[in-house]
A and B are shown apart, each in its own frame.
Chain A
Amino acid sequence: MFPPVPNPSTAPQSPKFGEQDLMRRSASNVTPPAQRQTEVAKLIDVSKCIGCKACQAACIEWNDTHPEIEENVGVFENPHDLTPDMFTLMRFTEWENPETNNLEWLIRKDGCMHCEDPGCLKACPAPGAIVQYSNGIVDFVHENCIGCGYCVKGCPFNIPRISQVDHTAYKCTLCSDRIAVGQGPACAKACPTQAIVYGTKEEMKKHAEGRITDLKSRGFANAGLYDPPGVGGTHVMYVLHHADKPEIYAGLPNNPTISPIVEAWKGMTKYAGLAVMGVAAVTGFLHYMVNGPNRVTEEDEEAAERLTGDRSS
């Protein structure tokens, strides 16, 4: 049992982090704070999840979103995918374990992983539309968002969704507004089995260790923590009973990284592109300086007059 975050006092309090704690700000430079805040994390233990969707309900309620009512097509996912109004989604997989021939019902709560090296932020062209706080939270700032969808291309987890209503990108905020005043994320608060717990990243890793030992003792030899190093680790982590094959959990990427295509686009291309255009312009200028204009001479005009004169005569 992990001690839940105690209920805060109802007295108003000032936020625990803000602008001064930005480590990264999209399409702009910030000086990172000299002292990093303690990194926070959410730990999702899929082995304890019962698929009740209380987390989804809490998320909808806290963020005051209104996901569209959809058709039942005979699957458990509801809605069928993450949407601009549904920041987290239980994904259900029926998996037959080839070793035991047992059917395992894998349930993974999908949503933003709050990467230490966020691909969305790297891809974002709008200054300040995506920010990363020194406690690890990656947040979208809607008044700066232009709705271009570059974050969708940058994200290794297919998380951001663009609203067709206000044309900005939405995803899990890790309840940054709750965490700022000492509360845990709404989903963690609502989870009846403590499959979702929240605390500092160190606490979460330690708690995960205990859970993994327990799972191993129950025969899940490959139980482990999902904290992918390819994106510098994440601030939402999973305890998986089959950590050797995360892809069986509704396509959780095995060793995700920011796509090399995105790296090429936001790295080399950005600088080489400006250089190529600059060289073209400077070459033209230098050519003009050295050679001067190319002018038609009097002789050319006379030659043309002779040529046309021949015809009219």
Chain B
Amino acid sequence: MSTNTESDAGKGNRVHAGKPVMVDRYTGGARINHWITAGSLVLLALSGLSLFHPRLFFLSALFGGGQLVRAIHPWIGVVLFFSFLGLFLRFWKLNLWKREDGTWLARVRDVLTAHDERLPEIGKYNAGQKLVFWSMSVLIIVLITSGIVIWDEYFAAYTTIEQKRWAVLIHSIAAILAISVWITHVYAAIWVKGTIRGMVRGSVTGGWAWRYHRKWLRELVAKPPAEDEKRTAAE
């Protein structure tokens, strides 16, 4: 997918004229990939939190008790790692930092007060989404690395106790940050109406694209329709 030079607007994204205009934002594959990641992240957070604070140990009952949490949690982590890797390969290019992202971020006050008209035109992702993407990418690498160090079932022999102590501290801090980023991500999707449908049904309305990702919409509209069909046939 990264070989498509014109794919700045996103693979499989197309505009359907009508009332309202509908815009394809996520392919079926991307959505499935996203929801596997989302599901495993929620399970990881619940099982991880149950071991993080005694008051949250009751959460282990959701997984069938502490022994099962201990056994299952790392495996869900492996699922999340590979699932997120899929998302990373799909989206990394669209999340590269652009000049307008700095402007967008500098006007974060307008972002939070929904003065979207005062913001620069944005491609498929805005600076906030890019920050979520990159912070999750870094945190998941930290989590899988530190997680393997404390996965005693298989890897106990490969590190010293002192290294394991550092790993468990780093793992818990990285997890707290990842959960906080996740809360921000989910909140943004709830706050900006019409967003969740993009990840559930795969499409957003033209107005949504115009309001939040106008540059992306313009690129999609400007894309020659012939090329669209050629790509569809090839895919």
Contact = CB atoms under 8 A, between A and B. Distances in A.
Interface of A: 27-28, 125-127, 144, 146-150, 152-153, 158, 162, 167, 259, 261-262, 264-265, 269-270, 272-274, 276-277, 280-281, 284, 287-288, 291, 293-298, 300-305, 307-312
Given A146-B69, A273-B173, A296 B207 contact: yes
Interface in B61-80: 65-67, 69-71
Contacts of B221: 307-308, 310-311
B54 A294 contact: no
Interface residues of B, number: 59
Interface string B141-182: 000000000101100100001101110110011001101100
30 contacts: A28-B54, A125-B50, A126-B66, A127-B54, A144-B66, A146-B69, A148-B66, A149-B164, A152-B161, A259-B165, A265-B165, A276-B180, A284-B191, A287-B191, A288-B191, A291-B114, A291-B191, A295-B193, A295-B194, A297-B211, A300-B206, A301-B207, A301-B210, A304-B209, A305-B21, A305-B206, A307-B218, A307-B221, A308-B221, A309-B17
A265 B172 contact: yes
Nearest to A29: B54
Nearest to A273: B176
A150 B114 contact: no
B56 to A, nearest CB: 8
Given A294-B192, A304-B217, A125 B207 contact: no
A152 B17 contact: no
Given A127-B57, A301-B20, A307-B218, A273 B207 contact: no
Given A167-B67, A305-B20, A308-B21, A126 B207 contact: no
A211 to B, nearest CB: 32
A301 B21 contact: yes
B161 A153 contact: yes
A128 to B, nearest CB: 10
Contact of A167 (B17, B70, B166): B70
B17 to A, nearest CB: 5
Contacts of A308: 15, 17, 21, 206, 221
Contacts of B179: 277, 280
Given A291-B113, A307-B218, A308-B17, A276 B206 contact: no
Q: Which of B52, B166, B184, B210 has the most CB of A within 10 A?
A: B210
A153 B112 contact: no
Interface in B42-56: 50-54
A125 B152 CA distance: 15
A217 to B, nearest CB: 39
A280 B180 contact: yes
B207 A274 contact: no
Interface in B182-235: 183-184, 187, 190-194, 205-211, 217-218, 221-222, 225
A265 B169 contact: yes
Contact of A125 (B21, B51, B190, B206): B51
B143 to A, nearest CB: 14
A40 B67 CA distance: 33
B176 A304 contact: no
A277 B54 contact: no
B214 to A, nearest CB: 9
B73 to A, nearest CB: 9
B19 interface: yes
Q: Which of A144, A272, A280 has the most CB of B within 10 A?
A: A280
- Cβ-closest 9 pairs across A and B: A304-B206, A146-B66, A301-B207, A300-B207, A27-B54, A284-B187, A149-B152, A273-B176, A296-B207
Contacts of A280: 179-180, 183-184
A298 B205 CA distance: 11
A303 B114 CA distance: 18
